[in-house]
Amino acid sequence: MAVETVASAVSASTDFGPAVALSCRECGERFPLGPIFACEACFGPLEVAYEFPSGDPEGLRRRIEAGPTSIWRYAPLLPVPADVAGKPNLNPGFTKLVKADRLARELGVTGGLYVKDDSGNPTHSFKDRVVAIAVEAARNFGLTTLSCSSTGNLAGAVGAAAVRAGFRSCVFIPHDLEAGKVVMAAVYGGELVGIEGTYDDVNRFCSELIGDPIGEGWGFTNVNLRPYYGEGSKTLAYEICEQLGWRLPDNIVIPIASGSQLTKIDKGLQELVKLGLVEDKPYRIYGAQAEGCSPVSTAFKAGHDVVRPQKPNTIAKSLAIGNPADGPYVLDIARRTGGAVEDVNDEQIVDAIKLLARTEGIFAETAGGVTIGVLRKLIETGQLDPADETVAINTGDGLKTLDAVAPTTGPTAIIRPTLDSFREAGLA
C-alpha cells in the first residue's frame, strides 16, 4: 500500500521527540511511527506510544513553565521534535481557563467551576491543537499535501495551518454546506473540493484516495495522520492541570463527536500522574452529546459496551458523528472514573449558549452549548456533585454557529431616538 511504503521509508530519519512507536489499542501490537492508522493484525486503532524521561518532575515542570504560551510548552510530552516551536505553525493552545463564578452561582456549583475556553485558538476551535500535531507528523514523513474531510471547522483549521506551515492543502466537504462555512474553509486559498454527496460519501471518497497512487504524499489529518492528530487533545488536559496550579480537578465535562478528545484528555491526565507532575487523586470524566446524535449516551444509559450508530439530527453539527470511533473507549472511561455520559436537546443547547454568554461573556458554538447544557443536567439529576471542582470545555466560537441563536436573540426594544421613547420602552 502506497502510504505504508512511505512510512517505512521515512521512519528511521524522523524526529518525534519522546514518541517511539504506534501501538494498537486493541491487541497491543507495535509498529514503527508512520502515516498509518489501523493495526495490521486486528484492524484496531493505533495510538502513539512514548518513552518519557522520568525521575525529575520538578525539572520538567520548570521546563514547561518556561516554554512558549502555546501547546509547544508541552513538546516533551508530544510526538514532535524538541525544536517544534521554531517551525512555522499557528502556535495554538494555552487558551484561557476562566473561573466561572457567575455561571457557578446559576448552576448551584459550590466547589469551583471553570470553563476551558478553546474559542481563543487561531481559527477559534480546538481543532487547531490536533491539526498542529498532524502537521508536524506530515513534516516528519515528508508529505506535501494536507487534507481532510470536513463539515466546516476542520477544513478551516487545516487550510490555515497548511498555509503557515508551507504545505499544499486539498480539503473535501459536502457540496451543499452553508455559505459561511464554505467561506471559512476556502478563504485560506488551498484547494477546496465540494463533493456531490453526504459527509459519509466524502469520507468514503477520502479512503479511496488514500489507497490510490494519487494519494501518495497526502496527509489526511483525521485518517492516516489520525494517531498523531488525536494526541493534540492531550494538551487540553495538560493546560487545565497547569492552569489550576498543577493539580487535577474533580470533574471534567467534555463534548463527544468521535470521542477522541475525551479519551485523549484522560490519557493526558494519566500521563501527568505517572510523570509526577500532579498528585494522583480520583477524577470523574463526563461526556456530553446532543440528543439528536447521542449514540454514546444512549449506550451509557442502557449499560451497553457497544455503541449503536445513529443518524444525526441536531443543531450541534460539529458533534454530529453518528458512529463515533472512540465510543466504546468513552464508555470505559466514564464508567471507570465514576463519571457519566448525558445528552441535551436543541432547545437546551441554545439555552445553554445564552446562559454561558450572559453569565461569563463567553459566546460558544453549539458544541459548547451541549457541554454547558449537559453540565446543568448532570447537576439537576444528581449525577455530578456541585460541591466538587468542575471544568467544562468550550471547544469553539459562537461566531461559527450564529444561526443557532439568531432566531431567539435580538434587541430588547426598538425606539425612536428620543428620551421619551426610551422612557416609554421602560428602560430608564
Query: Is the sign of the CA dihedral 142, 148, 154, 157 positive or negative?
Result: positive
| Least distance to a copy of itself, CB of residue 224, Å | 17
> What's the CA gap between 4 and 407, in Å, rounded?
50
Place of cell 458512529: 323
- Which residue's CB is nearer to a copy of itself, number 14 or number 119? 119
What three-state secondary structure class fits 13?
helix
- Identity at 159, one-letter amino acid code: G
Look at the chain and count its residues.
Answer: 428
- Which residue's CB is nearer to a copy of itself, number 46 or number 155? 155
| Least distance to a copy of itself, CB of residue 350, Å | 10
Helices (H), 11-168: 57-65, 101-107, 127-140, 153-165
What are residue 145's phi and psi, to 5 degrees?
-120, 130
| Least distance to a copy of itself, CB of residue 277, Å | 21
| Least distance to a copy of itself, CB of residue 353, Å | 7
- Which residue's CB is nearer to a copy of itself, number 266 or number 397? 397
| Least distance to a copy of itself, CB of residue 165, Å | 8
What three-state secondary structure class fits 160?
helix
Closest CA to 158 of 225, 234, 217, 258: 225
- Which residue's CB is nearer to a copy of itself, number 47 or number 118? 118
- Which residue's CB is nearer to a copy of itself, number 56 or number 191? 191
- Which residue's CB is nearer to a copy of itself, number 11 or number 125? 125
> What's the CA gap between 343 and 351, in Å, rounded?
14
CA atoms within 13 A on the CB side of 388: 22
| Least distance to a copy of itself, CB of residue 194, Å | 4
